[in-house]
Structure 1
Amino acid sequence: MTKDLSLSVVNTSTTPPTTDTTRLSWATSLFYFGMLAGLYPMTFALQRFNLGRILGGVVIVWALACMLTAAVTSWKGLYAQRFFLGFVESVIPTGFMCIVSGYYTQEEQALRQSWWFSSTGLFTMIGGGLNYGFAQIPGGSLKRWQYIYLLAGCLTFLFGIFCFFIPNSPVEAWFLSKEERVVAVERLRRGQMGVRCQKIKMAQVKEAFLDVKLWLVFVMMGSAYTVNGAVSGFGPLIVSTFGWSTLESILWQFPLGGLCLIAILACGWASFRFSNVRIILLILNCLPVIAGCAMIWKGSWTYHAGTPVAGYSITGTFGAVASLTIVIGMR
Structure 2
Amino acid sequence: MSADTATPHGASITLRRLTKRYGSVTAVDAIDLDARPGEFLTLLGPSGSGKTTTLNMIAGFVDVTDGDLQIDGRPVADLPPYRRNIGMVFQHYALFPHMTVTGNVEYPLRQRKIGKADRAAKVAAALRTVGLQDYGKRMPKELSGGQQQRVALARAMVYEPSVLLMDEPLGALDKKLRDSLQLEIKRIHGELGTTFVYVTHDQDEALVLSDRIAVFNNARIEQIGTPTELYEHPKSVFVARFLGESSLFHGTVGDPRTVDVGGRRVVAGRGDADAGAAVAVVVRPERIRIVVDPGAPPAGNAVPGRVIQHIYLGNSRKVEVRLPDDTVVLVRESAGSITRAEPGQDVWLTFDPDNAAILPADATN
TM-score (norm 2): 0.24
TM-score (norm 1): 0.26
Which structure is richer in relative contact order (CA contacts within 8 A, separation 6 or more)? 1
Q: Based on CA coordinates, which of the two structures has the bigger radius of gyration?
A: 2
